[in-house]
Structure 1
Amino acid sequence: MTAPAPLRLLACGALAREVLALIAANGWSHMALRCLPADLHLRPERIPAAVARAVAEIRAETPAAQIFVLYADCGTGGQLQRTCAELGVEMLDGPHCYAFFDGNAAFADRAEGEFDAFYLTDFLTRHFDAFVWRAMGLDRHPELRDMMFGHYRRLIYLAQTEDPALDRQAEAAAQRLGLAYERRFTGYGDLAAALAAKG
């Protein structure tokens, strides 16, 4: 049986824990992970260029390796998909991590009924202050909360793991935002399937 070709995973830093857990659980020794900073999501227009630079660096370091980009569109308006196509590298399907964790098809089916939902993943729950509260200026201007979140009715925590401490953090985040709280266990969703196909 031939060993799989080396695979370099170029991922958003917000996925690092989940990707490493999947690699370890499945013994995918041919996969190696490289992450870009998670805070690129605060400026999604910068993601395609950052991915292009990283792909060039990986190709210079490991010319024989295949590259799989572990980003969905993530607010780039299709530009990341165009960049990956030009570079000849594959990327994850879906609009964002909420969709592929939930399962892209299931997320799309629920979209009409969840138009009033704000989502958190395990990563965003752990880093709620840095990526939501402070990033949106709510620490300095709490009066902006109702303006920014007034059209939301609930916070849905899409949980990748069974972790009561994270559940409590997500519920506390919902309270801070003045939203009803729901939890949905997704596991790794389509991310697991996409990596298994490369295993």
Structure 2
Amino acid sequence: MTAPPAPLLLGCGILHKEIRFLIMKNGWPIETHFLDSALHIDFDQLSHALTTALNRHAEREIIVFYGACHPLMETILDEAGTFRTDGQNCVEMLLGPERFSAELEQGAFFLLEDWARRWEQVVTATFGTNRQVIREMYRGDRNYLLCLSTPCSADFRSKAEAAGQMVGLPLRWLDVSLDHLETVLQQAINRKLRAKPCPK
């Protein structure tokens, strides 16, 4: 009898390097399918891409790596018969809720390597090309860009500095371990494996 395929982790690619590292480190029996992290800036594109991917892999046991990144996220997942990782968003999954909330309250806008490297594309798609408008939008309620560097990050300092100049915010840097992300993923994998039916 052919063994069933491994569970599939399907979701945002913003932490794809970190997730693949943790899968290899732990020997988790899962495969991955990452979607473009820039989908967050357009709810219609996000729901279409996610729903299409869920339908394409409907025969698989799926774990979704997303936070509450779409107002209908839970409905989309319920219709697909699956669930997502626990957390408001990928940054909370990386930092943990306490540190995430503390930095958010101080006015942080979180910047990961993936977005830093395509910052102009992401920002102009959302706010247009008028630099003054962009600065006003970010400086209205944010005080600094918090650049999150993980053990898997390459050097994206120059890209982060360009992002800060574009939005008119100073940079702060934080070295982040993968401990909390690892816990979030392990819990989701355990939940999926517990719910997986026995082969007939």
TM-score range with shorter-chain normalisation?
Answer: 0.7 to 0.9
Deviation of the 1:12 alpha carbon: 1.3
Where 1:143 maps in the other structure, the secondary structure is: helix
Cα distance change of structure 1 residues 135 and 193 upon mapping to structure 2, 3 Å threshold: same
Where 1:14 maps in the other structure, the secondary structure is: coil
The 5 Å alignment of 1:113-152 reads 114=106, 116-132=107-123, 134-136=124-126, 140-151=129-140, 152=142
When the two structures are aligned, how many residues end up with a matched partner?
A: 186
> Which of 147, 152, 157 is the matching residue for 1:167?
157
**Deviation per CA, 1:153-196, whole angstroms, max 9, x where unpaired?**
21111222375722343234223322121111223354321223
- Structure 1's consecutive aligned runs of 4 or more residues displaced over 6 angstroms after TM superposition are none
Which structure has the higher relative contact order (CA within 8 Å, separation 6+)?
2
**Aligned residue in 2 for 1:14:** 14
TM-score, with structure 2 as normaliser = 0.78
Where 1:98 maps in the other structure, the secondary structure is: helix
Give the whole-Å Cα distance in 2 for the aligned partners of 1:144 and 1:157: 22
Q: Structure 2 unaligned segments of length 5 or more: list them.
A: 191-200
Give the whole-Å Cα distance in 1 for the aligned partners of 2:36 and 2:139: 30
**Aligned residue in 2 for 1:71:** 66
Cα distance change of structure 1 residues 111 and 173 upon mapping to structure 2, 3 Å threshold: closer
For 1:25, the aligned partner's letter is K
Where 1:157 maps in the other structure, the secondary structure is: strand
**Aligned residue in 2 for 1:48:** 47
For 1:86, the aligned partner's letter is E
RMSD: 2.7
TM-score, with structure 1 as normaliser = 0.78
1:85 aligns with 2:74: no
**Deviation per CA, 1:3-32, whole angstroms, max 9, x where unpaired?**
99721010113232222222223233x211
1:34 aligns with 2:27: no
Cα distance change of structure 1 residues 68 and 179 upon mapping to structure 2, 3 Å threshold: same
Q: Structure 1 unaligned segments of length 5 or more: list them.
A: none
State the identity as a percent.
26
**Aligned residue in 1 for 2:90:** 97
Give the whole-Å Cα distance in 2 for the aligned partners of 1:44 and 1:8: 23
